[in-house]
Amino acid sequence: MINFILFGPPGSGKGTYSKKIVEDLGLIHISTGDLLRSEIEKKTDLGMQAKSKMEKGEFVPDETVISMIEGILCENDLAKGFVFDGFPRTVAQAQAFDTMLHKYNQSIRQVIAFEVEEEELISRIMARGKESGRADDQNYDVIKNRIAVYHSKTEPVKEYYKAQKKLSVVINEGKIDEVYAKVSSILSV
C-alpha cells in the first residue's frame, strides 16, 4: 500500500489536495472530520458523543478516532493505499497509528504539511462555512479555538514525523494547480 498523510491547520487545504491525489493515484481518502460528521448525521452513539466536542472546536477522544481508522483499514485490506486527512492529530494518535500500521505490515510513505498564514486560514474557513453551512466553520470563536488547539496539540506531530524523515512542508498560497504541482513532485519521490 501507498499511504500519505496530509497535515496542517484547519482550512489549510488538506481536503482540496486529498481529492486531487485520490483522483490521480486511485487511493482511498480518509478524513476523520468527514467520518465523524457522517456519524453525527446517522445519530449514532459515537456521533452524539463527538458532536458536543466538535461544536466547541475540541478534539474527540483519541481512542474513538483510532478505532474508527482501524475499522476502515480492516475493511479495505486490498486497497492500493490511503490518504489520511485530519489524522493523526495528536502525538498519541500518531504513536498508536504506527503501532497499528505495523500490525498490518503497512507504513506511512510521506507526510505533507501545509502552511498558511493565520488570517488567510480564518477567511478561507469562513468562506467554506458560508458555502457548506458547517456550523464549526461559521463561528469566529470556534475557529480561533480550533487554530489554538492545532498549535498546542497537533503541531507537535510534525516533529514526530520529521524525526522519521517523512515530513515535507508545502506553503499553500497561490494557485491551486501550482501548489498541486509541488505536492505531486513530493508524492512521486
Residue 137, H or E segment? none
Residue 115, H or E segment? strand 110-115
State how far Cα 60 lies from the chain centre.
14
**To the nearest whole angstrom, how small is the minimum distance from the Cβ of residue 143 to ligand ADP?**
9
**To the nearest whole angstrom, how small is the minimum distance from the Cβ of residue 189 to ligand ADP?**
25
The alpha-helical segments, DSSP class H, found in 26-78 are: 32-41, 45-56, 62-75
Q: Which residues pair with 156 in a beta bridge?
A: none
Q: For the chain, what percentages of helix, strand and coil (3-state, to nearest 5) are there? A: 60, 15, 25
Cell numbers 493523526: residue: 88
**To the nearest whole angstrom, how small is the minimum distance from the Cβ of residue 83 to ligand ADP?**
13
Quick one: 63 or 173, whose CB is closer to ligand ADP?
A: 63
**To the nearest whole angstrom, how small is the minimum distance from the Cβ of residue 108 to ligand ADP?**
15
When CB distances to ligand ADP are compared, the closest residue is 33
Quick one: 171 or 181, whose CB is closer to ligand ADP?
A: 171
Residue 75 CB: number of other CB atoms within 10 A?
A: 9
Q: What is the DSSP letter of 59?
A: P
Nearest to 146 by CA among 65, 96, 86: 86
Quick one: 33 or 47, whose CB is closer to ligand ADP?
A: 33
Asked if 124 touches ligand ADP (CB under 6 A), the answer is: no
Restricting to residues 145-164, name those near ligand ADP by CB under 6 A. 146
Quick one: 97 or 180, whose CB is closer to ligand ADP?
A: 97
Restricting to residues 7-66, name those near ligand ADP by CB under 6 A. 10-11, 31-33, 36, 53-54, 57-60, 65
Quick one: 147 or 183, whose CB is closer to ligand ADP?
A: 147
Is the N-terminal amide bond of 88 cis, ω within 30° of 0? yes
Restricting to residues 75-114, name those near ligand ADP by CB under 6 A. 86-87, 89, 93
Positions touching ligand ADP (CB under 6 A) are: 10-11, 31-33, 36, 53-54, 57-60, 65, 86-87, 89, 93, 146
